[in-house]
Amino acid sequence: MPSTVAKKKIIKRELAELKLALAKKRQKLERKKIENRADLEDARIKMQSRLREQEAVAQAKTRKLETKISELEEKITAEKKQLFKVIAIEQHEAIDHLETYLEEVDHKYANLRGFWKTIKKEFRDMIRNNRKLRK
C-alpha cells in the first residue's frame, strides 16, 4: 500500500496534470472564441458588402427608372405641345370655313333681302294704286 506521502505526490501529479489539461482546454476554448469572433466578423463584413451591392443595384435601377420617367414626361410635354398646335390649326381652319360659310349665307340672304325690298316696293305701289283707284 502506498504511503500517504506517495498518495499526496500522486494526487499532486494528477492535480498538476488536470490543471495542465484545464489550461489546454481553456486555451483551446479561447482559440475557438477568437475563431468564432473572426468568423462572425467575416460574416458581418460579407453581409455589409452584399447589402452595399444590393443598395447600389437598387439605386442604379431607381436612377434608370427616374431617367425613363423624365424622358417620358418630356415626350408627353412635346406631344401635348404638338397636340395644341394641331388643335389650334384645326380651329383656325374651322374658323376659316365658318367665315366662308357665313359669307355664302350672307350672300344668299342679301339676295333674299333684295328680293324682299323689291316685293315690299311693289306691294306698296300696288296699295297706292289701289287707293288712288278708290278715290
Global pTM reads 0.47
pLDDT confidence band for 86 (50 / 70 / 90)? very high
Q: Identify which of 10-14, 15-19, 61-65, 111-115 has the greatest average pLDDT.
A: 61-65
CB-based contact 17:25 (threshold 8 Å): no
Nearest to 131 by CA among 49, 123, 85: 123
Q: Who contacts 10 (Cβ-Cβ below 8 Å, separation ≥6)? A: 2
Residue the block writes with cell 444590393: 54
Share of the chain above pLDDT 90, in %: 56
Tens digits of residue pLDDT in 17-60: 999 999 999 999 999 999 999 999 999 999 999 999 999 999 99
Residue the block writes with cell 294704286: 129
Tens digits of residue pLDDT in 56-66: 999 999 999 99
